[in-house]
Amino acid sequence: MVGILRIKYQIYVSPCFISIIREKTMKNVVTIFMCGDVMTGRGIDQVLPYPGDPVIYEPFLRMATGYVKLAEAVNGPIAKPVDFSYIWGDALGELERMAPDVRIINLETAITKSDEYWEGKEINYRMNPDNISCLTAAKIDCCSLANNHVLDWGYPGMIETLETLERVNVKSAGAGRNLKEAETPAILHVKGKGRVIVFSFGTKTSGIPFRWAAKKDSPGINLLEDLSTETVRRIRKEIGDVKQAGDIVVASIHWGGNWGYEISGEQREFARGLADIAGVDVIHGHSSHHVKGIEVYAGKLIIYGCGDFIDDYEGIGGYEYFRGDLGLMYFAGVDPLSGKLAFLQMKPTQIKRFRINAASREDAIFLRNILNMEGKRLRPRVELGKDTALTLRWD
């Protein structure tokens, strides 16, 4: 009898059984696609099927078509007009292969026909609302809007942005007709797995004018006053008001300058506070025009800077060292029961002719080395697979 019981016990803890348990657990993991700045305005708007008014009010160019000419001078002609899916290029195949449960981007443009540009602001991004299908072509679920371009064309432009996204059933967070709306997160339902709740925050360090902050009775964005412990506690209360058991909370944050790998101690402390105190599971950081370091803290994923994903910067020199043309598609698997990271796979990309292309192996090695160089301080390490895919490893 004892022998039989011992045999049953051995079967129970067999590697095969553990493998089955792990496989079942992985089936419940929620896969979240995130990327850096998606800037579909200005030059990119001009090559889409319905280009808007090209007039801009910038120091060096007065027509958005000038950015098209710069790009074509470097990488060759773009067959205009392109179809709505063109700009996503090779990313569409990768999205289909990975089949993420939710798709989150930082949308850095106003979607509007407004001519009320924000006077004194040097960069003016807008996309014609008739080109909104360029977002639905990639089945985007949520746009983070608390950034330094959503108000480039004034409050009418921002409100039209919200209305356009609502019209095509793309959720947004971080901007609103008043403070309450700007602070309200997007709630994404994942069939059979639960919910992903997306909060969007902006900071002044990313170049957001203080006047853009939403007020109780006036529109604007969800702009944080600082990165203090008090701010973390306030965010904890906001999360506590909406989070339920099994929910995954994403904090999408626009912070820091455009160039440079340095991550301030203030940013790290704030990110860790969000994980420790506020109940945030994933931090989706952006603003830098190039990829920055990654950290896994207490099992929670912190991406400090995703880099640009889609922009019209081809032909603009001065920061070639940072390789701003390279980006990453982040596919994060998160356990909804614990909120901890189960896996992170990244696909290197390159912007060329206003289109996302699969990066070369040489460029994938460059990105791996950058992430590992930054990872010496942040601990995770990145491995390059047989193709160009990157995988994060952490203790």
Fold of 34-393: Purple Acid Phosphatase; chain A, domain 2 (3.60.21)
Supply the pLDDT for residue 20.
37
- What's the pLDDT at 14? 42
Q: Is the separation of the CB atoms in 309 and 354 below 8 Å?
A: no
pTM comes to 0.93
What is the reported pLDDT for 374? 84
Q: DSSP class of residue 53? A: -
pLDDT digits (tens, 9 = 90+) for 25-55: 567 999 999 999 999 999 999 999 999 999 9
pLDDT at 382 over 80: yes
Q: Is the pLDDT of residue 21 over 60?
A: no
Pairing of strands 300-303, 381-384: unpaired
Asked if residues 292 and 268 have their Cβ atoms less than 8 Å apart, the reply is: no
Non-local CB neighbours of 156 within 8 Å, separated by 6+ positions = 112, 114, 116
Mean pLDDT of the chain: 93
Residue 380 pLDDT: 86
pLDDT at 26: 67
Q: What is the pLDDT of residue 42?
A: 97
Q: How confident is the model at residue 10 (pLDDT cuts 50, 70, 90)?
A: very low
**pLDDT band for position 395 (cuts 50, 70, 90):** confident
Q: Which residues contact 243 (CB under 8 A, 6 or more apart)?
A: 197, 249, 279
Percent of the residues in the chain that have a pLDDT greater than 70, as a whole number: 93
Place of tokens 């990165």: 227
Is pLDDT at 8 greater than 50 in this prediction?
Answer: no
| Residue-level pLDDT at 211 | 96
pLDDT at 16 over 80: no
15 pLDDT exceeds 50? no
Block residue for tokens 């047989």:
386
State the Cα–Cα distance between residues 315 and 313, nearest whole angstrom. Answer: 6
Neighbours of 55 (CB within 10 A): 13
**In this predicted model, what pLDDT tens digit does every residue of 290-321 receive, in sequence order?**
999 999 999 999 999 999 999 999 999 899 99
Q: Which one-letter DSSP state was computed for residue 129?
A: G
Name the residue type at position 97: R
Instruction: Tell me what pLDDT residue 17 has.
Output: 34
Is 80 exceeded by the pLDDT of residue 362?
yes
Percent helix, strand, coil in the chain, to 5, is: 35, 25, 40
String of b and e for 135-154 (b: at least 16 CB within 10 Å)? beebebbbbbbbbbbbbbbb
Mean pLDDT of 57-65: 95
Q: Check whether 4 has a pLDDT greater than 50.
A: no
The C-alpha atoms of residue 384 and residue 370 are separated, in whole angstroms, by 12
Comparing 130 with 18, the larger pLDDT belongs to 130
Displacement of CA 77 from its chain's centroid (Å): 29
| Integer angstrom CA distances of residue 132 from 66, 73, 93, 238 | 22, 27, 20, 31
Q: What is the mean pLDDT of residues 52-76?
A: 96
The residue-averaged pLDDT of 100-116 equals 98
Task: Tell me 349's DSSP state.
Answer: E
Do 103 and 95 touch, CB atoms closer than 8 A?
yes
Q: Residue 139: pLDDT band by 50, 70, 90 thresholds?
A: very high
- The Cα 256–Cα 251 span in angstroms is 15
pLDDT single digits (tens) 235-261: 999 999 999 999 999 999 999 999 999
Model confidence at 157, pLDDT cuts 50, 70, 90, reads very high
Specify whether the CB–CB gap between 112 and 163 falls below 8 A: no
Residue 5 has pLDDT above 90, yes or no: no
Q: Is 90 helix (H, G, I), strand (E, B) or coil?
A: coil
Q: How much is the pLDDT for 11?
A: 36
| Contact assessment for residue 130 and residue 50, using Cβ atoms and an 8 Å cutoff | yes
CA distance 12 to 174: 49
Torsion angle, CA of 291/258/209/294, rounded to 10 degrees?
30
The single-letter code of the amino acid at 252 is: S
Domain map (residue ranges) of the chain: 34-393
Angle between helix 229-240 and 265-273 (nearest 10): 30
Tokens 């924000």 belong to residue: 118
Query: Is the C-alpha dihedral spanning 368, 369, 370, 372 positive or negative?
Result: positive
pLDDT at 24: 45
**Does 137 score more than 70 pLDDT?**
yes
Element (H, E) at 229: helix 229-240
At residue 63, the pLDDT reads: 97
